[in-house]
Amino acid sequence: MSDHEIPRSGAARVGQVKDITSLSNPIVKDIRALSMKKHRDETGTFLAEGLKLVIDAIDLGWTIRTLIYAKAQRGKPQVEKIAALTVARGGMVLEVSEKVLTAITRRDNPQAVIAVFDQKLAPLAVISPARDETWIALDRVRDPGNLGTIIRTADAAGASGVILIGETVDPFSMETVRATMGSVFAVPLVRATETEFLNWSKKAAALVVGSHLKGSVDYRTIGYKDQPVVLLMGNEQQGLPDTLATACGKLARIPQTGRADSLNLAIATGVMLFEARRHLLELDEPSA
């Protein structure tokens, strides 16, 4: 956490931290309900677990709505600083029992620090890919682990964001957030219907490259350089529908020699993404 973001007053003052041990506490019930998409949608919030993730989120400009930590964390400098910052910005701080943490996270060995944040989703209409930007568009991805891994990979490769088309799984589910390893705070996310994406892609002046088993172009031969690129990946079982496939400037495939008939979606996305970004990720030659 950046020092300039830490209030000089130190820890949150006594009385600003609620001590909770009961699972029937209404605040705890509301936080536990964030495991359900309906409640996340109604409140516009989500839950993230782990001290490092919470610190990363603060450094990236996210504001904590509610900070929850185990009693054993009381007095630890980093936790006290986060608590003070949360209070200073109008958030709530809860010191809870291990039983409450386990119930909230639905894990036997929960993280000692968790936090509730407001969701951030950008409208597709404001996205205008620039030269050498790479965006990932995902159609109806259903597996939260795949989505979380793709968001993490997008972060690592320097992609500009991830566009979630149609009924793609909720990026703010606990499973997805865990799989992002904190990258959910670093990668812009966009929601769009299929129609919205098709209309946007016609105006975006970007090369749309779709991954398709019937693709005739080796993904390594495409000219990704000096232009904005959108990598369009389909549903795990069904791939891209014809409506989206026909909107692609290139239909690519990843050559395979083994017996497997396809790659895991997150792996395939990572392979194509790093190829699209390769000219921007080349390491400098070591000096003699």
Tell me, yes or no, whether 147 lies in a domain: yes
Count CB-CB contacts under 10 A for residue 140: 19
Same domain for 134 and 9, yes or no, is no
Residue 144 lies in a domain: yes
d(CA 95, CA 9): 19
> pTM higher than 0.85 for the full model?
yes
Domain count of the chain? 2
Task: For residues 107 and 132, state if they share a domain.
Answer: no
**238 is a domain residue:** yes
Which tens digit of pLDDT belongs to each residue from 21-32? 899 999 999 999
Specify whether 51 is located in the same domain as 167.
no
Inside any domain, residue 61: yes
- Work out the number of other CB atoms within 10 angstroms of the CB of residue 134: 25
User: What is the predicted pLDDT for the residue at 224?
Assistant: 95
DSSP code per residue over 128-148? -PPTT-EEEEEES---HHHHH
CATH number at residue 51: 3.30.1330.30
- Closest to 1 measured CA to CA, from 44, 45, 62, 90: 62
Same domain, 144 and 268: yes
| Mean pLDDT per 10-residue interval, the chain, length 288 residues | 41 68 92 96 96 94 96 93 93 94 88 96 95 96 97 98 97 96 97 97 94 88 95 93 94 90 93 96 62
pLDDT 10s digits, 94-129: 999 999 999 998 888 889 999 999 999 999 999 999
**Domain co-membership, 234 together with 270:** yes
Q: Which residues of 220-243 are buried (b: 16+ CB within 10 A; e: fewer)?
A: eebebeeebbbbbbbbeeebbeee
Same-domain status, 160 and 233: yes
> What pLDDT sits at residue 287?
54
Whether residue 64 is found in the same domain as residue 161: no
Asked if residue 286 belongs to a domain, the reply is: no
| Residue 39 and residue 113 in one domain | yes
45, 173: one domain: no
Instruction: Please tell me the predicted confidence (pLDDT) of residue 3.
Output: 38
Last residue of a domain, one of 99, 118, 137: 118
Question: Is residue 288 domain-resident?
Answer: no
In a domain, 64, yes or no: yes
Are 23 and 128 in a shared domain? no
In a domain? residue 257: yes
Which of 66, 95, 118 is the last residue in one of the domains?
118
Domain boundary residue, one of 118, 147, 166: 118
Q: The CATH number of the domain where 237 resides is what?
A: 3.40.1280.10
Domain shared by 277 and 173, yes or no: yes
Query: Which residues, listed in sequence order, are joined to residue 123 by a DSSP beta bridge?
Result: 191
Cα dihedral 24, 28, 32, 37 sign: positive
Q: What is the pLDDT of residue 260?
A: 85
- Detail the DSSP E strand segments found in 50-175: 64-70, 92-96, 113-118, 122-123, 134-139, 161-165
Structural domain boundaries enclosing 43? 3-118
Tell whether 12 and 108 lie within a shared domain. yes
